[in-house]
A and B are shown apart, each in its own frame.
Chain A
Amino acid sequence: MKVFNIHFFENRKKFFAISLGIMAIGLIFNIIYGTKLDISFTGGAVIKYSYTGTVQQNDVEKIVEDATKKEASVAILENVKSADGSASLNNVSISFAGTNSISLENQQAIAKSLSAKYPSAKFQVVESSSVNPSMGQSFFMKCIAAVIIAFILLIIYIAIRFQKIGGTAAGAMAIIALLHDVAMVYFTFIIFRFSLDANFIAVVLTILGYSLNDTIIIYDRIRENRRLLGPKTPYSVLVNTSINQTFTRSLYTAGCTFSSIACVFIVAAVYGLSSVTTFALPMMVGIMTGCYSSVCIAGPLYVMWENHKAAQRAAEAGSKK
């Protein structure tokens, strides 16, 4: 049977560099482009129409601004596939500046002026959403509360669970791995310039659960191997052995989960379903980093910590003599 023998601990600096590098890139993007919150959090309005033929972006923008007396930006998306297939439609998406919702009457006025200007384009609402800022904010608060509650519950779980496997130090490393994954998912949203919405919350929470699962399975193996290999085995050997033994499983499970969500991403991208792609892509990234952080971050960090403590103890013992 093929057994992996990767020196995770010895290569730790490379892994840390990769993680920090990606975070640095994310941070640069974040500084340049800022963080975009979705209108479901801030309030605001977007409308997406389908049409046939061609329209001018500037004209549409002007029509919309005249009809609503509001500043708007227009994006045109051509050749969107639909299930009934044959003819692919063009979409035009209108987003309004500011965080105020628009009224139904405004939306009706837009449809009317657009049809007047382009009688043969057959404008149809594909999706529209208009959110009142105060409702958006309370929804945002609710989501933040959810993430905090999830974190607290998981930390309680870690505290209980890790008493048996490595204690506080191991628990702390597991939490660092979780924070690493949240950061990665966040930067995925930033780098791809997706706005943060309910999908972000769903992905973050799912990845928290998923990544912790991975970490726990590795620490379980560490505990088992501590019994088998005896207390004299250095931490680096112990952790390396354990990670390598569980590595096949980590790879297989991450691979299966990754490929199933990748199918969703690819198909959704073909059909232009932005609400699904902004969910699936960060989920793909999250599953990779969830697996990566458990193997390459939490494990080596734990060894470093234990080595550091051992060195301290040795130094103390030395000074007493």
Chain B
Amino acid sequence: MKRVAKPVFFIVALLILFLTFTATFGLKGKNGDNSTTYIKGVSDIRWGIDINGGVEATFSPATTTKATKEQIDSAKAIIELRLTSGNITDYELYTDYNNDRIIVRFPWKNGEKTFDPESAIQELSATSLLTFREGGDYTTTTTGSDGQPVYKTPKGTTATNIILQGSDIKNAKSQMTQDQTTGTSGYEVALELSDSGTTKFATATANLQGKVISIWMDDVRISAPTVDAVISDGKCVITGNFTATEASSLANKINAGALPFKLTTTNFSTVSPTLGKTSLYAMGVAGSIAFALICLFMLFVFRVPGIVAIIALLGQIALSFAAVSGYFPFVPSFTMTLPGIAGIILSIGMGVDANIITASRIKEELWAGKTLDGAIQKGDDNSFWAIFDGNITVIIVALILMGVFGPTNILSMIFGASTTGSIYSFGYTLLIGIIGNFVFGVTCTRLMTKSISGYKFARSKWLYGGAKE
């Protein structure tokens, strides 16, 4: 047998313990009042609405005619604006152009005392009120969830003097321009006004030349351009070093003010934060008991390979945590739901399969009269393909689960964007469990078993399931 150097056992075990510790608790530094997260731990996991409490709703236009893609985009832009200005983070927003649906899902804010899901949904889908106002004065400023300042509630003349309303706007679109002198290209928003709007705007721009006319959506200021010239033909542009996204976002918002339909809520579901907390706590308890049971079982039945299996299992669980928390910079964090946690617990049970297959084979070889080294070698060789085969089938299933319940994929192109995302993370944790099983249950286990069997104290065959010597 190719011997593995003795210290390898301790090196692998320490590495796994390090991974487990950091993946569980994360690494955080304190610099005065600011704590910086270097490595994300379990407390940084983004929980889904079934754990954090939250709202999921599907909005559709209240018309029988089909909405255009631009109209749906505008409606989406408004919902997005309301979410960010309401400082709601972690929201998910999908559109389904074929079926005229906008699906929004967001967790309940931390520390929110009153739980009023009905109003929260209504506020998001309320008919938007677009206004053009004199000046750009605001009462309060807060920071939105996208990090940008949010200017709220017009004040003074800005509050009283409304120049245009949503119905005065015919169309807004973003377009590319080229600076005449420098030749650099940029983006701007072109507005087209209705007849009534044209008259009103001509008067206002004549009075307010050089001053600000601000644009408001509901209670939030979305733009505050300065009037450069009198606009009498009902066509104007808003410039201001926009990027392509900024320009189209502003155009979408302005269009939403002139949407010909109201949004109705066709689907909604809500979960209270208390229920979610209870669920999370319960799953934590269940996971710990399951882990303890399996450790005891492996230890009593397989002895030394059992200890190895426990260390490998720790590594596998740590990998699952790491894969959802955003521990590795290249794996984005993942919204974790109850079925996702069930997936981790299930893979604790399935995860020892690789160890069980290998350890059983070693035991068989020992009873067949092989030497310890020979038995370990033979056990490893004989069991690899069985483990590999078994895992392939579960990988196929996990991928399909992710496909069906995931946000966007081939199936959702046929059947529309999905409303139920909680099973998605079950597929994901199942998949990670299998990958972890290969890394830890196969590779690390083999390294550790071979290296520990080099120690004198660990050379008794009994320790590997053989007969007492």
Using a CB–CB cutoff of 8 Å, the interface residues on chain A facing chain B are 1, 40, 50, 81-84, 101, 103-104, 107-108, 111, 124-132, 135, 138-139, 141-143, 145-146, 149-150, 153-154, 157, 161, 198-199, 201-202, 205-206, 208-210, 212-214, 216-217, 220, 245, 248-249, 252-253, 255-261, 263-264, 266-268, 270-271, 273, 275-276, 279-280, 283
- CB contacts (< 8 Å) of B272 on chain A: these are 50, 124-127
Q: A267 and B285: CB pair below 8 A?
A: yes
CB distance from A241 to the nearest CB of B (A): 13
**Partner of A263 from B289, B403, B465 at Cβ < 8 Å:** B289
Question: Known: A104-B265, A198-B405. Contact between A273 and B279, CB under 8 A?
Answer: yes
A and B contact pairs by CB, cutoff 8 A, 11 listed? A40-B419, A111-B118, A135-B101, A150-B397, A210-B393, A217-B357, A257-B346, A257-B349, A259-B293, A259-B294, A261-B290
- CB contacts (< 8 Å) of B291 on chain A: these are 260
Interchain CA distance A271-B278 in the complex, whole Å: 7
Q: A205 and B270: CB pair below 8 A?
A: no
Number of A-B contacts (CB under 8 A): 245
- CB contacts (< 8 Å) of B352 on chain A: these are 253, 256
Which B residues, 345 to 360, have Cβ-Cβ distances below 8 Å to chain A? Answer: 345-346, 348-350, 352-353, 356-357, 360
Interface core residue of A220, A252, A279 (most chain B CB under 10 Å): A252
Q: What are the nearest 4 A-B pairs in CB distance?
A: A257-B349, A260-B349, A209-B397, A129-B269
Question: Known: A128-B117, A154-B393, A248-B360. Contact between A142 and B282, CB under 8 A?
Answer: no
- CB contacts (< 8 Å) of B404 on chain A: these are 142-143, 145-146, 201
Q: B400 and A205: CB pair below 8 A?
A: yes
| Chain A CB within 8 A of B229 CB | no
**Partner of B265 from A84, A103, A260 at Cβ < 8 Å:** A103
| Chain A CB within 8 A of B469 CB | no
Using a CB–CB cutoff of 8 Å, the interface residues on chain B facing chain A are 50, 58, 99, 101, 115, 117-118, 121-122, 265-272, 274-275, 277-283, 285-287, 289-291, 293-294, 297, 301, 338-339, 342, 345-346, 348-350, 352-353, 356-357, 360, 363-364, 367, 385-386, 389-398, 400-401, 403-405, 411-412, 414-416, 418-420, 422-423, 426-427, 430, 465, 467
Q: Which residue of A lies closest to B426 (CB)?
A: A202
**Partner of B415 from A142, A161, A202, A258 at Cβ < 8 Å:** A142
Question: Known: A128-B268, A205-B400. Contact between A216 and B390, CB under 8 A?
Answer: yes
Question: Known: A202-B423, A205-B397. Contact between A276 and B283, CB under 8 A?
Answer: yes
- CB contacts (< 8 Å) of A50 on chain B: these are 272, 274
Q: Which residue of B lies closest to A140 (CB)?
A: B415
- CB contacts (< 8 Å) of A216 on chain B: these are 386, 389-390, 393
**Partner of A83 from B50, B280, B293 at Cβ < 8 Å:** B280
CB distance from A28 to the nearest CB of B (A): 30
Interchain CA distance A253-B352 in the complex, whole Å: 7
**Partner of A130 from B267, B285, B390, B400 at Cβ < 8 Å:** B267
Q: B367 and A1: CB pair below 8 A?
A: yes
- CB contacts (< 8 Å) of B348 on chain A: these are 260
